[in-house]
Amino acid sequence: MVEIEVNNRSHSINTMNNFVKKLLGFSIGPVAGAFITFVTVPLTTYFISPNEYGKASMFALFQMIFGTFLYFGIDQAYTREYHSAKNKLNLFQNAIFIPLVIAFVLFLTIIILPSPVSKLLFNNSNLVLPSILFGLMIIAMVVERFILLSLRMEEKALEYSLINIFTKLSILIFTLLFVIYIRRDFLAVVYSTVFGQIIIDGYLVIRYRNLFEYKKFNLNKRLLKKMFQFGFPIVIATSLSSLLNSLDRLSLRAWSDFYEVGIFAATLKIAGALSIIQVSFTSFWVPTAYRWYEERKEIEYFKIVSDSVLLLMSILFVGILMLKDLIIYILSPGYADATYIVAFLCLQPIIYTVSETTCLGIVFSKKTYLSIWVGLIAIVPNILINVLLVPKFGAIGAAVATAVAYIFFFISRTYFSNKNGMSFSVRKHYGVIVLLLAGAFLNLVPFKSMYVVNISLLILLLVCQFTTLKVMWTIYRRRNTKEFNFRNII
């Protein structure tokens, strides 16, 4: 009996140690990518005005919107079926088949009718080449998505990270070439993004060409039906999520100007430092959470991860607040207004990342239709606040709308998860989120003593999460011992 208990404790220690190692592995690429982005953004904004940057951002925005509908939720179904599938190649080829066909059809349509696409993207019907490149990017986006999903599910952390690094580096190199030697308008951003991305995607196709061996392809209608049933509700939910992430810039496009769009988009890149952590954590956490669920891990494992992520993200939030005045230097004097909205835009990746640890009951129960309600609950306040604030306050109004919408997103996502088998206390989460929102509003006002205010906010956050600090310290202190039991430290 004693030997069994010791073995269980050793297994718990090994599980957490492996968790940390793989998390670090998946984080290398996104963190390095964040650094490269921090080099790319000021380089771009130094040479390109907010108006031109706003036009370029619409290219990326519509690429994201198109991508939402391409997958039909099959990408999510692919990750759900991965561990239970015996033939991984057959699963991959069936999963990518329909999105890839649709992407090719869209590409051919754009080649035939480039002017309407050009008008939609750039408010100019004469930009034919950028429109065609947009269609090519859609195809590359599908291929990249499923290859990277395969790496994630195989938990190949280092390889996944290196691809992220080389993608950002490739875009940076092309950005340098364009703004220094070729042109300094929004097309420089568009071309550098397209060429940098396609080169890496071309490498992925060559590197993993075995995944595309058509002779081994066998259309499995039963499998496709199963993935559609799982993924279709996610299509609607993802569409709502995409709209949620797009309403800010669409509202600015409708009721403001390209200057405000440019300010918002540039600040969104700065807030992307936290988005990188969001992506790296989610890339690692999704396959790990599914595996833990299959292994019937105790709820305490999931709670520790959730509390730890909340602590890390809230500390990073305050760190960005303390350094927000550097944004003007990172971008350029023409983007000075960015300093007032960065706090609100940082709340988006923070809240989304934390919600990834509190929403697992939805996917584990396979009730993906609940994600539709999550999207609807979040999008209603987003629309209302955008309508009320954007015409008068521009980018500030859009940033507030996004932050508040994501709070509703977290609340609804967590509620539905708790009702479907993944229930643990989140009172601490709500307290921290309230403090973060208060900090964002305080940083709208240019106080001389703002540094003291932000230090006080950090102290309050640490006090609120003292029990998490205690748990993390206990885990660290006992990492190499056999005196470890989740029930005793929570």
HSE on the CB side for 30, CA within 13 Å? Answer: 19
For residue 487, the model assigns a pLDDT of 47
Q: What is the DSSP string of 17-37?
A: HHHHHHHHHHHHHHHHHHHHH
For residue 405, the model assigns a pLDDT of 94
For residue 364, the model assigns a pLDDT of 82
For residue 448, the model assigns a pLDDT of 76
End-to-end CA separation in angstroms for the chain:
24
For residue 5, the model assigns a pLDDT of 46
Whether the predicted model's global pTM rises above the 0.75 cut: no
Q: H helices within 256-298, ranges in order?
A: 258-294
* pLDDT one digit per residue (tens) for the chain, 490 residues: 444 444 544 445 455 556 556 556 556 666 676 677 667 776 777 777 777 877 777 787 788 777 777 887 888 888 878 877 888 888 999 989 989 999 999 999 999 999 988 887 777 888 889 899 989 999 998 999 999 988 888 877 778 888 888 888 898 899 889 988 888 888 888 899 899 999 999 999 999 999 888 888 888 888 888 888 887 777 777 777 778 878 888 888 888 877 788 888 877 777 766 666 777 777 678 777 888 887 888 888 888 888 889 999 999 889 888 887 776 666 666 667 777 888 898 898 899 989 988 888 887 887 878 888 888 899 999 999 999 999 998 889 999 999 999 999 999 999 998 888 777 888 999 999 999 999 999 988 777 778 888 899 999 999 998 888 888 888 777 666 554 454 444 4
For residue 172, the model assigns a pLDDT of 85
Give the DSSP H or E segment for 344.
helix 342-355
* Residue 21 burial class via C-beta count within 10 angstroms: exposed 0-12, middle 13-18, buried 19 and up: exposed
Tokens matching residue 490:
């929570």
- Count of CB atoms within 10 A of residue 316's CB? 17
* Residue 127 burial class via C-beta count within 10 angstroms: exposed 0-12, middle 13-18, buried 19 and up: buried
Q: H helices within 113-156, ranges in order?
A: 114-122, 128-153
For residue 136, the model assigns a pLDDT of 92
Q: What is the DSSP string of 288-322?
A: HHHHHHHTT--HHHHHHHHHHHHHHHHHHHHHHHH
- Asked if 56 and 190 touch (Cβ cutoff 8 Å), the reply is yes
Tokens matching residue 435:
């403090």
